[in-house]
Amino acid sequence: MAKLTGPQKAAAILLTLGVEHGAEVWSLLDEDEIKVVSLAMSQLGTIEAEVVEQLFLDFASQMNNAGAVMGTFDRTEMLLTRLLPKAQADAIMQEIRGPSGRNMWQKLSNVAPDVLAAFLKNEYPQTVAVVLSKVKPEVAAKVLTIFPDDVAIEVVNRMLRLESIQKEALEHIEETLRTEFIANLSLTARRDSHEMMAVVFNAFDRQTEHRFLSALDETNREAAKKIRALMFTFEDLTKLDPGAVQTLMRSVDKEVLAKALKGSSEPVKNFFLGAMSQRAAKNLQDDMASMGPMRMKDVDEAQTRMVQIAKDLADKGEIVIGKNRSEDELVY
């Protein structure tokens, strides 16, 4: 057992638990963790019963009559297919079986352009041309603007002359990116602690958020200021452009919108009512009036729901949300 790595131990235990008992554990892992464990599982081979028993004794202090387990690509794929949506399972298996262009380029497209540019500046222009031809155009554009002009023009010329890339060469580039960039990025690009706490505070109800921030104001005013600046609140929805407002309101249930606005400030209320037709605004005001007195908890839940819907729309690329309307959007 001493020879097993952490992911291999986790893989052996999850194989033993199977679908019925392991499903809840799998559901708590993020996609990167699933990939790490899945890769270990697919390469595990045979684990003797005594080792499995010792693993469970170490982790849970109880294990009865455990049998030997064997991890293979086929068994891993079968397990993931039963636990996860098919598209997600297929993507994970494609990546652990070999280089996965689609997932790799998606990952690169989500990396901050300045970080990607800093890595690529040490690569051959031809390699850079291949990478930028595979990521999203808007990402390639931002990376090119960061490069010195002579480097950027060289890369552009090579992209113009780029023909079909040999499979072996593309796989080599993908593997290099995976091992030297993406893997290191996950270790070094840790989220700023204030950004992390802003996400946590966003999940609080309004009273809890106010209580924590007020307490933090007394003990660490600078941290409280940074967290407030990073948080995206219900009031920040008024910074959406007109098109984004329309998209958001089409995505929000009318009752949720009425509850959220009933407990909002007049400026916020007027902002949303002003984005509607006169008839729709009048109907919404009538709905709010007919609701009578409401608990603040219900208002908070409705406003939190609207913020979450806005973030979901931003994740899908349907709207852009931010603290201001400048070019430096804060996209969640």
In this predicted model, what pLDDT tens digit does every residue of 205-246 receive, in sequence order? 767 788 888 888 898 888 888 887 777 778 889 988 888 899
pLDDT confidence of residue 284: 93
pLDDT confidence of residue 91: 67
- Cα→Cα distances 64→21, 26, 46, 68, Å: 15, 22, 19, 12
pLDDT confidence of residue 94: 59
Q: Is the domain covering 101-188 a CATH 3.40.50.920 domain?
A: no
Q: CA–CA separation, 210 vs 249, rounded Å?
A: 27
Burial (Cβ within 10 Å: 0-12, 13-18, ≥19) of residue 248: buried
- The residues spanned by each domain of the chain are 6-97, 101-188, 232-315
C-alpha dihedral over 7, 11, 12, 14, to 10 degrees?
140
Q: CA–CA separation, 34 vs 42, rounded Å?
A: 12
Main-chain dihedrals φ then ψ at residue 175, nearest 5 degrees: -65, -40
Residue 290's contacts (CB-CB under 8 Å, 6 or more residues apart) are none
What's the whole-model pTM score? 0.38
101-188 and 232-315, same CATH topology: yes
> Which residue, 98, 48, 102, 103, is CA-closest to 73?
98
List pLDDT tens digits, range 66-87.
Answer: 444 555 556 677 778 777 887 7
pLDDT confidence of residue 2: 72
pLDDT confidence of residue 61: 52
CB 71 within 8 A of CB 8: no
CA 229 to chain centre: 21
Question: Residues in the chain with pLDDT < 50?
Answer: 62-68, 98-102, 186-191, 323-332
pLDDT confidence of residue 97: 53
CB 93 within 8 A of CB 76: yes
Q: Give the right CATH number for 232-315 from 1.10.220.30, 3.40.50.2300, 3.50.50.60, 1.10.10.60.
A: 1.10.220.30
